[in-house]
């Protein structure tokens, strides 16, 4: 083809779970050596502006009826289950029994959609539900050791697929077009999208969560209660020597990284009420943490737009606003984001094939 490919052909801004999933799908398509990931924060870092290491994380049946969200969840569940089965210890993903409760009744449609793909799916009979709970189900979920999982993805991309990582903060999305050869930029900047020059999406807002990390090796079950105005959960963290994440909060529009002792007390009380495994075993508190879910009115934005840089027509693919579901929905979102760039990627792939001849 006209121009030869280079490591600057494809740029991904952001090294959270969203950017790393996009890089993984490109790598699986054989395009790893044309990818540069640019990010202010990389796996191993901690910052209130880097949400991914703070996640629980688990798969939960929290999505509503939005067709995108349901499809992303299903793709993500299947992908994470495959990782758990094939490279569980290495990727820090594990199949785990889970119970979920809702204070408001869940629609038959949603239960039907979930029953289609969740393993060991079982609706809990009304007579066996705890007080105040209207719907409940049991199934086999996947739990993810979030900070270790993103390190695994980063390592695999760098060592096995030739993806380059550059630590850099960009002031304007146009600076992501680092070379005249940059054909496409994936914007995976999470909550920063609200302020990044060139993006400034007013629909973005943070949803704060506080979690308590405890040592409780006796706790094996993932439990989630979706309350009317609260959320309580227990997530055993896979391959962590018995660490368990207790939560939580979903505070819309709250952006502080501070943690609060009254919230810790509330989390300890609510999780003990919810799980006999937590109640019956003394949990040693290791840390109290807060993170900001990169939320967006109307749901995540996965969309390609034309973009002019230095007089050239380029592509910009937005992929941000995953809110509370970046780990469970991120792979499906990345799949769609990559599909939006198909014409450019096909051109890069065929140039790569030519080069091999």
Ligand X SMILES: *[C@@H]1O[C@H](CO)[C@@H](O)[C@H](O)[C@H]1NC(C)=O
Ligand Y SMILES: Cc1cc2nc3c(=O)[nH]c(=O)nc-3n(C[C@H](O)[C@H](O)[C@H](O)COP(=O)(O)OP(=O)(O)OC[C@H]3O[C@@H](n4cnc5c(N)ncnc54)[C@H](O)[C@@H]3O)c2cc1C
Interface with ligand Y (CB under 6 A): 13-19, 38-41, 50-52, 54-58, 169-170, 188-192, 196, 209, 211, 248, 291-294, 320, 322-328
Q: 244: helix, coil or strand?
A: strand
Q: Which residues contact 352 (CB under 8 A, 6 or more apart)?
A: 5, 30, 31, 34
Binding at 178: pick from ligand Y, ligand X, none (beta carbon under 5-8 Å per type)? none
Q: Which two tokens stand for residue 184?
A: 């496409």
- Closest contact distance (angstroms) between CB of 73 and ligand X is 8
- Closest contact distance (angstroms) between CB of 183 and ligand Y is 19
| Residue whose CB is less far from ligand X, 32 or 321 | 321
- Closest contact distance (angstroms) between CB of 212 and ligand Y is 10
Reference 207, options 198, 225, 194; nearest CA is 194
Reference 203, options 355, 323, 74, 83; nearest CA is 323
Cite the annotated binding site by residue number: 51-52, 189, 226, 233, 293, 324
Strands 164-167 and 204-215 come out as: unpaired
Q: 307: helix, coil or strand?
A: strand
Place of tokens 């995953």: 322
- Closest contact distance (angstroms) between CB of 353 and ligand Y is 31
- Closest contact distance (angstroms) between CB of 117 and ligand X is 15
Cite the annotated binding site for FAD by residue number: 51-52, 189
Give the binding site for ligand X (CB under 6 A).
47-49, 55-58, 60, 62, 173, 187, 189-196, 198-201, 204-206, 233, 235, 245, 247-248, 255, 316, 318, 320, 324-325, 328
Binding at 201: pick from ligand X, ligand Y, none (beta carbon under 5-8 Å per type)? ligand X
Binding at 198: pick from ligand X, ligand Y, none (beta carbon under 5-8 Å per type)? ligand X
- Closest contact distance (angstroms) between CB of 346 and ligand Y is 26
d(CA 118, CA 70): 12
Binding at 52: pick from ligand Y, ligand X, none (beta carbon under 5-8 Å per type)? ligand Y
- Closest contact distance (angstroms) between CB of 357 and ligand Y is 37
Peptide bond into 18 cis (omega under 30): no
| Residue whose CB is less far from ligand X, 24 or 325 | 325
Q: Which letter, b or e, does each residue of 2-40 get, where b requires 16 or more Cβ atoms within 10 Å of its Cβ?
A: eeebebbbbbbbbbbbbbbbbbbbbbeeebbbbbbbbbb
Q: 12: helix, coil or strand?
A: strand
- Closest contact distance (angstroms) between CB of 325 and ligand X is 4
Classify burial at 127, counting beta carbons within 10 Å of its beta carbon; exposed 0-12, middle 13-18, buried 19 or more: exposed
d(CA 286, CA 140): 27
**Which residues are bridge partners to 292 per DSSP?**
208
| Residue whose CB is less far from ligand Y, 174 or 347 | 174
Binding at 332: pick from ligand X, ligand Y, none (beta carbon under 5-8 Å per type)? none
| Residue whose CB is less far from ligand X, 111 or 352 | 111
Name the DSSP class of 54. Answer: G
Reference 186, options 79, 320, 292; nearest CA is 320
Binding at 173: pick from ligand X, ligand Y, none (beta carbon under 5-8 Å per type)? ligand X
* CB atoms inside a 10 Å sphere around CB 88: 15
Binding at 28: pick from ligand Y, ligand X, none (beta carbon under 5-8 Å per type)? none
Q: 258: helix, coil or strand?
A: coil
| Residue whose CB is less far from ligand X, 1 or 305 | 305
| Residue whose CB is less far from ligand Y, 15 or 348 | 15
Residues 8 and 36 sit within 8 Å (Cβ to Cβ):
yes
Cite the annotated binding site for D-dopa by residue number: 226, 233, 293, 324
| Residue whose CB is less far from ligand X, 190 or 332 | 190
Binding at 216: pick from ligand X, ligand Y, none (beta carbon under 5-8 Å per type)? none
| Residue whose CB is less far from ligand Y, 10 or 188 | 188
Q: 186: helix, coil or strand?
A: strand
Q: Which two tokens stand for residue 306?
A: 């034309």
């Amino acid at each position: 083809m006209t121009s030869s490919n280079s490591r600057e052909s494809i740029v991904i801004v952001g090294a959270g779970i969203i950017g790393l999933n996009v890089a993984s799908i490109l790598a699986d398509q054989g395009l790893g050596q044309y990818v540069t990931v640019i990010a202010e924060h990389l796996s191993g870092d901690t910052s209130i502006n880097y949400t991914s290491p703070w996640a629980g994380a688990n798969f939960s049946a929290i999505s509503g009826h939005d067709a995108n969200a349901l499809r992303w969840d299903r793709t993500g569940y299947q992908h994470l289950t495959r990782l758990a089965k094939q490279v569980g210890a290495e990727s820090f993903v594990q199949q785990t029994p889970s119970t979920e409760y809702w204070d408001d009744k869940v629609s038959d449609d949603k239960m039907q959609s979930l029953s289609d793909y969740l393993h060991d799916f079982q609706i809990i009979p009304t007579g066996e539900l705890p007080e105040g709970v209207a719907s409940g189900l049991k199934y086999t979920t996947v739990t993810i050791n979030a900070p270790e999982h993103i390190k695994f993805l980063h390592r695999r991309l760098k060592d096995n697929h030739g993806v380059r990582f550059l630590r850099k903060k960009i002031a304007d999305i146009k600076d992501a077009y680092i070379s005249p050869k940059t054909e496409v930029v994936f914007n995976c900047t999470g909550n920063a999208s609200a302020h990044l020059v060139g993006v400034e999406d007013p629909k973005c807002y943070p949803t704060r969560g506080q979690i308590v990390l405890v040592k409780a090796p006796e706790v094996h079950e993932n439990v989630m209660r979706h309350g009317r105005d609260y959320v309580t959960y227990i997530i055993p963290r896979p391959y962590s020597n018995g660490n368990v994440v207790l939560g939580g909060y979903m505070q819309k529009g709250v952006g502080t990284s501070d943690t609060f002792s009254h919230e810790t007390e509330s989390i300890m009380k609510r999780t003990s009420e919810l799980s006999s495994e937590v109640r019956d075993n003394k949990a040693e508190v290791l840390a109290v943490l807060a993170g900001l879910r990169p939320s967006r009115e109307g749901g995540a934005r996965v969309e390609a737009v034309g973009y002019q840089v230095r007089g050239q027509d380029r592509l910009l693919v937005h992929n941000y606003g995953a809110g509370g579901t970046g780990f469970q929905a991120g792979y499906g979102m990345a799949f769609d984001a990559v599909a939006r760039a198909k014409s450019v990627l096909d051109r890069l792939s065929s140039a790569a094939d030519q080069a091999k001849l």
